[in-house]
Structure 1
Amino acid sequence: MLRTALRNVFAHKARLLMTMLAVLLGVAFVSGTLVFTSTISDAFHKGSEKGYANVDISIRQDGGDAPEGRDSVTPLSQRTLDRAEELPGAESATGVVSGFAALSDKDGKLVGDGFSTEGANYYAGRDGKGSDPRYPMKDGAAPRAPGEIALDAKTAERTGYQVGDTVRMSVNGPVRTEKVTGIFTTDDGNVAAGGTLVLFDNATAQRLFAKPGEYTEIQVKAEPGVSQAALKARAEKILPADSEAVTGKTLADEESRAIETSMSSMKTSLLAFAGIALFVGIFIIANTFTMLVAQRTKELALLRAVGASRRQVTRSVLIEALAVGAVAGLAGMAAGIGIGAGLRALVGTMGTMPDGPLVVEPSTVVISLLVGVVITVLAAWLPARRAARIPPVAAMGSVHAPATTRSLIVRNTIGALLSAAGAVLVLMATRMDDGGKAPMGAGAALLLVGVFVLTPLLSRPLIAAAAPVLRLFNVSGKLARQNAVRNPRRTAATASALMVGLTLITGLTVIASGVQKAVDKMASESLKADYTVSMANFTPLSPEVEKKLAGSDEVTATSPLRNAPAEIDGDTEYLTGVNGSTIAQLTSLDFTKGGWSGIAGGKQVVVDTDTAKQYGWKPGSSFQVTYDDGEKGRLSVAGLYKGNEMIKGIIVDNKAITPHLEKVADMQVLAKTKDGATEQVKKSLEKQLGNNPAVLVQDKKDISEGIAQMINILLNMLYGLLAMAVIVAVLGVINTLAMSVFERGQEIGMLRAIGLDRRGIKRMVRLESLVISLFGGVLGIGLGIFFGWAAGELIGSSLDTYTLVLPWGRLGIFLALAALVGVLAALWPARRAARLNMLAAIKTE
């Protein structure tokens, strides 16, 4: 039976080719993901080790809250640094301080991605005349005085800046003009990931990112022969309060774990899409082996007649599947290594990862082979069982025995039960404010499987609906419709592969369209301000920005938005500070009770309804608040409003919170202008702020477009990943049609003999393919709309402005895509059918 199975594999190479391709693509996706993520993780891990090569121990603040009775943790001072340098066994000690620093390129645009544009200190020793081993100078000299900076070599290469150039930059809002005195090399992971690093002299960096004489970390290098553990034990004796000492190995391990954590979500996402492609591939594999079994009914029955047992027949089919899976797994693994290498090269050209070799772990090889073999064998198991049930007497019967009525009734009953259970779960989940995600996911899976099981039943009425159009193509159209419904199970399996991909694509598009509409509505309904001004990375903004805007002749009203932590009834809440005298001109909140009146005095607040319900407040209620500096105050409620994702919480005049802030900073500034939001006014405001690369000036349209751009980028990435499932579905249609043409060779020969020309045969096969693809497309788009609506109901519980939006243009494109799949998939099978020799085909048994 082993020899028989292997002979069958070689005898049906062409028929199994599409199945191999389907498995190959899925396995390639899996192995490519594993190779890519392993390569990135290894590169960053080695970069971390290299970055901490000169750090044997680190003294740092432990990151906890300030002890009771104190406003803040004890800072790391110059005295601590001096004591660390004098530790027995310490070769050197370096003080570290860093923070956000936005660098402008020569065109005035922000360099880097915003969140990894950093500034740090160049520590030149106690006397300021030494060198910092962390940053060896490639060109020029280190910064020694205010107004001087050094740039990392990658940033200098990207921007074209050289030693002696003057650059514009910003730390917290106001524009700074600095002179480049040096260019240095670094193993910093942020720089390797496409960010920028700007070095200031030690005193300037402390003034910008901390306080004079303070550091955020102290790094110590041990003398030769002194272990990290021994140096750590000595350092623990000089630690100030609220600090800890950790070894360089611990730092590298922490960074590696952080990288693993950040990579795991990307790996999981990519593997999920690989799983979808493999899931679609299962339909093709099962369909292929079902058709092979049907075409070899006489052969298998004769094997039974000459003594083969049912188990041997089953084993024979599974061995074929094993061989196909093994070959596809090996080829997929090789293709996956190529995909991983391609992604590595693509990411490398964008400068977003450090250099490193391609990593192919043994587990990747094993997983790739297992996935290929297991998926193929599992998908072939039901056809194998079906083959074993063929009685010897079937050798004298028809090859194309239809499914029994009983089996179809059982299938339809199971499909109806699964679909009903899934729909009920999804509908129940839409009524759950919290915890509805799991029931909705389970319900969606059940409904998808249920519809797949029901597709043979659904195929007849839906394909019959296309009959009026198909009649326009005369005999070819009529035959195409009859062929499409002749074997409902085959049609269902073929269409289901396309249905899965389009369900996901449609659902995601519907959800994204609703979210975008909700953001537009929220921005237009919540803000009267023409512009919002914030930092590019949304870190705190200097109050100087609001003062400049308020002094502009074009601006009629401004209000800074400040956050201040405070304790209320034992809970930590963040108070939002505003300009109480102008905020009513800049926002349009939906007040249920009360309003802005009285807030300007600094003794009253307005609160969103959810927070008010939590504390049992109503207009006139008063409550005690403990500010961050420990002082207490009393505030009363002036009004209640409906909050949203843009504006919510406790809003108070800045007079109440500013005296209690250690460092005054704004999260953003709202501004209203005489002439409204125009491109000319926006450019004027940007110019008044010094064309600052770190500051974003946005109108409502900019806010909406920024979110839309993020949504579109995410959608395009998802479309690209789901394209794999669609490609696999195309292979399924090609495979089904090709094998159907082979199966119906005698019939096609008879059609040619009685007068149907080659063009008519081609048209018949193409129309059949088109009908099957559109059937899958209609099911997929219908399910996608339902899932998009259901998920939107869940989103709407936390996003009040969310409404269902059906993007008819994109839905039309998806349906056209399904039609295109049908047309392209039919090219080769149709040509093959038209080229059949009619006499040879008629003689075929």
Structure 2
Amino acid sequence: MKTGVFRAAMRDVLAHKARLAMTMLAVLLGTAFVGGTLVFTDTLSDAYLDSAQKSFTGVDVQLRAQRRAGHDTARLVDERLLDRARALPGAASARGVVSGFTALAGKDGEMLGDGWATVGANRGDEDRRYPMAEGRAPRAAGEVAIDAKTAERAGYAVGDTVRLSVSGPVLEERVTGIFHTDDGSVAAGGTLTFFDTRTAQALFAEPGRYNLIELTAKPGTSAEELRRQAQGIVPPGTEALTGARLAAEQADSNAVSVRSLSPVLLACAGIALFVGSFLIVNTFTMLVAQRTRQLALLRAVGASRRQLTGSVLAEAAVVGLAATLAGLVTGTGAGAGVRALLSVTGDTMPDGPLVVAPRTVAICLALGVGVTLLAAWLPARRAAKIPPVAAMSAVHAPRTTRSLVVRDTAGGLLAAGGAALVIAATAMTDGRLPLALGAVLLLVGVIALTPLLSRPLIAAARPALRRFGISGTLAGQNAVRNPRRTAATASALTIGLTLITALTVTGASADKAVRELAGAGVYRADYYVSMANSGPLAPRTEKTLDDLDEVVATSPRREIPALVAGTEQIVVGFRTAVIDQLLEFDFTEGGFAPGDTVVVDEETATANGWRLGDTVEVTWPDGARGALALSGFYRSAFDDGYKVDVSVLDPHLDRPTAPEILVRTADGTSEATKRTLRAALGDSPAIRVQDRQEVADGITGSIALVLNILYGMLALAVVVAVLGVVNTLAMSVHERVREIGLLRAVGLDRRGVRRMVRLESLVISLFGGLLGIGLGVFLGWGIGEIVAAIGIDTWTLVLPWGRLALFVAVSALVGLVAALWPARRAARTDVLTAISAE
């Protein structure tokens, strides 16, 4: 009997290929997204690791400044440490390396390698890791060597003069050589420029000082053994790392943007699969309903409930497996295609084989088949409850209203609880987790309530539908005939538009808040000077700006990691004597004071129970210890932490630098003043001079970029929702073949039938879309209230009416597009065949 039931299930799969096709497509799209994301990230990570390992060929151990809280402590090493490293018993050689950001300009004057590492370093004739392709290594000031990939991209040759900048005025250097390299940063699209050692020290460090030391082990000495030897000679603030550790670190750094995007991509794929689950439930519910007589006959001849449940789940497993395998193949191709596309568009990626890891296959199978089985379980369970006596009448009793009452009650409780949690989260200090939980509960509750909500809301559209005559009247009745099916169809679109609307409202509110914050007096500086790579500016940049007649106040924003009160923190330094002309600190108590003092945000002070006058212990990057007196507490909108005068930081730095300098000018902002500042800094392509508006535009531009990426990914959920609407309408048309035939027989023409189906689809899609937009606005408000609670007083709720109207139009378009095939199919129904159908 088991075999017979299974065979019947397989025959049903083959008999309903067309109806299951859209279910398979929904699962295929979701798993393809997951598989493509994992294949792309694994392939790139593997290629970066391989490339990074080549970069450190011949480097067994490296001595460098310790990194705390993700920041380099900016300590330098000297010749004495280099001599001691050469004397280590396990060291075959030791080489001092000095390097730093180097903006190499192309022939058009624009910086090459923008967005990736653009590095300059020292190189001697004895370095065999970078074999010369042409010419020779630089030996004196005014000479450079560049990597072969950069030379090819920019069209440079030996003897050419190149323009470059190392955080200061533009330098013009002669190319004496072009070399080959497997450096991972160059493979990722960056540039590598070599100077002679003395010139590199003058540009990036100090005479006789290095950023790091590279060691090669003697035969028979392992890298780990050499590292242990080196650890015994390094001074405080310096660490010894093996080449393998450095390669993994560089590979991870180069692939960080891909890795950070991967969870977002996977989340969007999960949303698409979740939306697709509604389509799967709908499909199997309809298939079970259409096979009532067959299933009941199977019960009558001895099939058990478990066997019937298993037969429906077997169909789902076959559909899920086929769709998942197709999705995995599609995703693998998509992952390879994205990498090829990035290479074509100029985003250089390291070469490497396509990686399809076993975990990728396992995850895709678990998700695709698992989601399909879970979604089909309810229809399967319902099929098992069909009594044998139903075989006599061929009609199974419909579900009672009791089940709908239970669903409505549960949905109401979940929606009310979720809404209450969202509202409560807005009053909490950190309400992100309660807000997320409340949003999930609210969304699930509203989805459960959708059958109840569909009747009154769709009924409200009936006056408009009557304008289309009998077709409109019938469309309104059909839309509410099966509220569960209508709800499942609309819910898919509701989920997608809820997320998209919440993102849109949050993004529009953030855009306005940033622009108001820039002009609200918090930022009082007229200009912000920084490096194109967000790295440190040269120390002389501060003096260059100070010496200009147009400038009335400047302050670096210096950052260094330190141990403060026993925890890793970033300490920020300003020129506190003039900071009130450049920034506004909202002090609740005290303020900046001379000497070894510090101000801290109010929240940190409260958490530690600190009062004015208390002291906190500090261990600086050079190992020195001290104590700072608390002189003030301030309220922070976004830039909290420990703030001191630069005179407190500078004694602990070998080479005081800053990633940003704030500038106040006598006449405010103007194009003439900006040109003066840029000219004083050598018109360097590596240095950015931005006014407040440009800084705000940069932040809001980043927000818009992120939103556009998320819109594109969430569009997959909308595509799956379209498939759901198509599927529902197609099944609805199949169920109503006899009814459509009778309508045709009494005078409704084909055009009227098409209009009826299109209007039904339109009203269901608009119902789901409007519900999603409403939920999205509410969640966007909740997110905004939490942001405002952390101190951003300029945050206000912004409803972008134009984009919200566009979403309504998209909902309508989804309905019309989804109805094309079902409407055509309904209109082409043969009248006599339809009337005689059972």
With the length of structure 1 as denominator, give the TM-score of the two structures: 0.89
Which residue of 569, 573, 577 maps to 1:576? 573
The equivalent residue for 1:836 is 829
Q: 1:490 to 1:554 in 2, by over 3 A?
A: same
Write the distance in 2 (CA, Å) between the matches of 1:5 and 1:567. Answer: 67
The equivalent residue for 1:291 is 286
Write the distance in 2 (CA, Å) between the matches of 1:734 and 1:150. Answer: 62
Matched to 2:176, the amino acid is T
> Is the deviation greater in 380-389 or in 171-180?
171-180
Q: CA deviation at 1:706?
A: 0.3
The equivalent residue for 2:47 is 43
Q: CA deviation at 1:497?
A: 0.8
Write the distance in 1 (CA, Å) between the matches of 2:823 and 2:281. Answer: 23
Alignment of 1:252-291 (within 5 A): 252-253=247-248, 255=250, 265-291=260-286
The equivalent residue for 1:69 is none
2:61 aligned with 1:57, yes or no?
yes
- Asked whether the 8 Å contact 1:523–1:646 carries over to 2, the reply is no
Q: CA deviation at 1:631?
A: 10
Matched to 1:807, the amino acid is P
Write the distance in 2 (CA, Å) between the matches of 1:372 and 1:306. Answer: 34
Alignment of 1:366-765 (within 5 A): 366-397=362-393, 399=395, 402-434=398-430, 436-525=431-520, 526-552=522-548, 554-555=550-551, 557-562=553-558, 574=571, 576-578=573-575, 580=577, 583-587=579-583, 642-645=635-638, 650=643, 662-673=654-665, 676-765=668-757
- Asked whether the 8 Å contact 2:68–2:562 carries over to 1, the reply is no
Q: 1:412 to 1:564 in 2, by over 3 A?
A: closer
> Is the deviation greater in 825-834 or in 357-366?
357-366
Q: 1:809 to 1:232 in 2, by over 3 A?
A: same
1:392 counterpart SS class: coil
Q: CA deviation at 1:300?
A: 1.8
Write the distance in 2 (CA, Å) between the matches of 1:766 and 1:89. Answer: 80
> Is the deviation greater in 157-166 or in 714-723?
157-166
| CA deviation profile, 1:167-192 (whole Å, cap 9, x unmatched) | 33332334333332222222222222
2:104 aligned with 1:103, yes or no?
yes
- Asked whether the 8 Å contact 2:599–2:644 carries over to 1, the reply is yes
Q: 1:292 to 1:515 in 2, by over 3 A?
A: same
Matched to 1:827, the amino acid is L
> Is the deviation greater in 335-344 or in 261-270?
261-270
2:195 counterpart SS class: strand
Q: How much identity, in percent, do the aligned residues show?
A: 58
Q: 1:310 to 1:715 in 2, by over 3 A?
A: same
Write the distance in 1 (CA, Å) between the matches of 2:824 and 2:539. Answer: 73
1:173 counterpart SS class: coil
Q: CA deviation at 1:200?
A: 1.7
Q: CA deviation at 1:386?
A: 0.9
2:220 aligned with 1:216, yes or no?
no
1:427 counterpart SS class: helix
Write the distance in 1 (CA, Å) between the matches of 2:559 and 2:66. Answer: 24
- Asked whether the 8 Å contact 2:556–2:573 carries over to 1, the reply is no
Write the distance in 2 (CA, Å) between the matches of 1:27 and 1:194. Answer: 31
Matched to 1:375, the amino acid is V
| CA deviation profile, 1:613-658 (whole Å, cap 9, x unmatched) | 677667xx79799896969899895x87644336886465x67776
- Asked whether the 8 Å contact 1:563–1:576 carries over to 2, the reply is yes
> Is the deviation greater in 73-82 or in 388-397?
73-82
The equivalent residue for 1:348 is 343
Write the distance in 2 (CA, Å) between the matches of 1:717 and 1:677. Answer: 34
The equivalent residue for 1:180 is 175
| CA deviation profile, 1:277-311 (whole Å, cap 9, x unmatched) | 11111100010000111112222222223332222
The equivalent residue for 1:200 is 195
Q: CA deviation at 1:85?
A: 4.5
Q: 1:624 to 1:16 in 2, by over 3 A?
A: closer
Write the distance in 1 (CA, Å) between the matches of 2:279 and 2:470. Answer: 29
Matched to 1:315, the amino acid is G
| CA deviation profile, 1:94-150 (whole Å, cap 9, x unmatched) | 32222222233333333323562222221x2xxxxx331232222222121122222
2:541 counterpart SS class: helix
Q: 1:333 to 1:487 in 2, by over 3 A?
A: same
Write the distance in 2 (CA, Å) between the matches of 1:325 and 1:54. Answer: 50
- Asked whether the 8 Å contact 2:65–2:237 carries over to 1, the reply is yes
2:122 counterpart SS class: strand
| CA deviation profile, 1:729-751 (whole Å, cap 9, x unmatched) | 11111111111111111111111
Q: 1:476 to 1:674 in 2, by over 3 A?
A: farther
Write the distance in 1 (CA, Å) between the matches of 2:242 and 2:197. Answer: 24
2:823 aligned with 1:826, yes or no?
no
Matched to 2:726, the amino acid is I
| CA deviation profile, 1:345-368 (whole Å, cap 9, x unmatched) | 123333342100111223323332
Matched to 2:107, the amino acid is K
Q: CA deviation at 1:491?
A: 0.5
| CA deviation profile, 1:709-745 (whole Å, cap 9, x unmatched) | 1111111111111111111111111111111111111
Which residue of 128, 134, 154 maps to 2:129? 134
Q: Can you give the 5+ residue segments of structure 2 that lack an aligned partner in the other structure?
A: none
Q: CA deviation at 1:268?
A: 2.6
Write the distance in 2 (CA, Å) between the matches of 1:663 and 1:542. Answer: 9
| CA deviation profile, 1:578-622 (whole Å, cap 9, x unmatched) | 373x555444555667899xx7x889998765577677667xx79
2:780 aligned with 1:788, yes or no?
yes
The equivalent residue for 1:808 is 801
2:783 counterpart SS class: helix
2:273 counterpart SS class: helix
Write the distance in 2 (CA, Å) between the matches of 1:54 and 1:809. Answer: 60
Write the distance in 2 (CA, Å) between the matches of 1:138 and 1:267. Answer: 38
What is the RMSD computed on CA atoms of the aligned residues? 3.4
- Asked whether the 8 Å contact 1:419–1:451 carries over to 2, the reply is yes
Q: 1:255 to 1:805 in 2, by over 3 A?
A: same
Q: Can you give the 5+ residue segments of structure 1 that lack an aligned partner in the other structure?
A: 66-71, 125-129
Alignment of 1:76-87 (within 5 A): 76-82=77-83, 84-85=85-86
Q: 1:351 to 1:154 in 2, by over 3 A?
A: farther
Matched to 1:821, the amino acid is V
2:661 counterpart SS class: strand
Write the distance in 2 (CA, Å) between the matches of 1:169 and 1:422. Answer: 57
Q: 1:833 to 1:544 in 2, by over 3 A?
A: same
Q: 1:443 to 1:595 in 2, by over 3 A?
A: closer
Write the distance in 2 (CA, Å) between the matches of 1:239 and 1:616. Answer: 36
- Asked whether the 8 Å contact 1:96–1:216 carries over to 2, the reply is yes
1:473 counterpart SS class: coil
